[in-house]
Chains A and B, each alone.
Chain A
Amino acid sequence: GENVEQHPSTLSVQEGDSAVIKCTYSDSASNYFPWYKQELGKRPQLIIDIRSNVGEKKDQRIAVTLNKTAKHFSLHITETQPEDSAVYFCAAIIHNAGNMLTFGGGTRLMVKP
């Protein structure tokens, strides 16, 4: 089955700096890669996703990049703010094969004011 590795497990940045979280996946058939943000005690919330026919996608201060050849994808957050502090999860899915997500282990991002 699919295996998703996520790094780093914790990341501390100063407010205003950029943060990058990286994930690798094992199954070349995976074709959809969502990112979730989970605040303490809350549910995971979908913040951005990328499909395998796209190399990069941006939404305001967040962007995702995908390298299908290398089987890795990354989340970039620019101009970090204290409210960006949360745990971020990457995931991979083989679309139309049960739609089952495989999650990375998560990254705890701490933005220091």
Chain B
Amino acid sequence: DAGITQSPRHKVTETGTPVTLRCHQTENHRYMYWYRQDPGHGLRLIHYSYGVKDTDKGEVSDGYSVSRSKTEDFLLTLESATSSQTSVYFCAISEARGGYNEQFFGPGTRLTVL
């Protein structure tokens, strides 16, 4: 499982509340990613990080922010949750193998915004 954990694994919250999801990795990988998965849309990249304090936007970044103050932790924050952010969120890391960076996913967080 590439040493990736996510917390919480399930969360139910109300519209307008802030939510922070945590991704933790134990193997010192440089690249970390946050994706959301919705029926009919597959997996879409929200934000990614290429090092401590180095982050960039992905395809669906509106309404989300991220922070990476330590190599092992990548946080995803919904400043004011909306029902459209109900989704399954996956964190991923990138591991260099054979000259290419293979991505491996965490177990996911199911978020419901009521």
Contact = CB atoms under 8 A, between A and B. Distances in A.
Interface of A: 1, 6, 32, 34, 36, 42-46, 49, 51, 89, 93, 95, 98-106
Interface in B1-56: 31, 33, 40-45, 48, 50, 56
A98 B56 contact: yes
B74 interface: no
Contacts of B83: none
B64 interface: no
Contacts, number: 54
Interface of A is mostly: strand
Given A46-B102, A98-B50, A103 B43 contact: yes
Interface of B: 31, 33, 40-45, 48, 50, 56, 58-59, 90, 94, 100-108
Nearest to A87: B42
Given A89-B42, A89-B43, A99 B94 contact: yes
Contacts of A1: 59
B104 A103 contact: no
B58 A44 contact: no
Nearest to B41: A105
A44 B44 CA distance: 13
A36 B103 CA distance: 10
Given A1-B59, A43-B108, A99 B41 contact: no
A44 B59 contact: no
